[in-house]
Amino acid sequence: MKSLLIDADKCTDCLQCEMACSFENEGVFNPARSRIKVFEFEHGRRAVPYTCTQCDEAWCLHACPVEAITINAATGAKEVNAEVCVGCKVCTIACPFGTVNYNEDTGKVVKCDLCGGDPQCAAVCPTGAITYVDANWTGYQRMRDSAVRADGGAS
């Protein structure tokens, strides 16, 4: 299975990823609706793209009261089914990474779904800061480690 690999050192903060993401998912260039966000530090010294790691713990999925979040068997992505989502936002506080967001316009939550296996953020990234690679390569372990700890010791 593949996942997104983010190398913040290569990010120039151009936000092409945010435009591609909103365009793919909402049909509009609109970073405010992007599921990947680039965070800027110290007058632009660093820029860090950030989105869901599709963590194994799947906090969002487990917290959902109506089974609106399910796993895509092909990609491993935790996907929101907007038809089922009631907009209760419990997943937005349950996800310790802060990568599920509430969209006030639709009254539903949104999160990265890997664009069904062809993530557009990676496709447009001009510097290779975002790539879609074999999961073993991602080095996302650090993020996942902190996910495990969010369980308060469960393993």
Ligand X SMILES: Cc1cc2nc3c(=O)[nH]c(=O)nc-3n(C[C@H](O)[C@H](O)[C@H](O)COP(=O)(O)OP(=O)(O)OC[C@H]3O[C@@H](n4cnc5c(N)ncnc54)[C@H](O)[C@@H]3O)c2cc1C
Give the footprint of other proteins on this chain (CB under 8 A).
8, 12-16, 19-20, 22-23, 26-33, 37, 39, 41-48, 50, 59, 62-63, 65-67, 84, 86-102, 104-105, 107, 124, 126-127, 142-143, 146, 149-155
**Distance from C-alpha of 98 to C-alpha of 14, rounded to nearest angstrom:** 22
Q: How many CA atoms lie within 13 A of 123 on its CB side?
A: 11
Residues 70-89 binding ligand X (CB under 6 A) are 88
Least distance to ligand X from the beta carbon of 138, Å?
31
Choosing among other proteins, ligand X, none, which partner's interface includes residue 137 (Cβ < 5 to 8 Å by kind)? Answer: none
- For other proteins, the closer of residues 50 and 135 by Cβ is 50
The structure tokens listed for 11 are 């990010």
In the chain, the N- to C-terminal Cα span, in Å, equals 23
The structure tokens listed for 88 are 């209760």
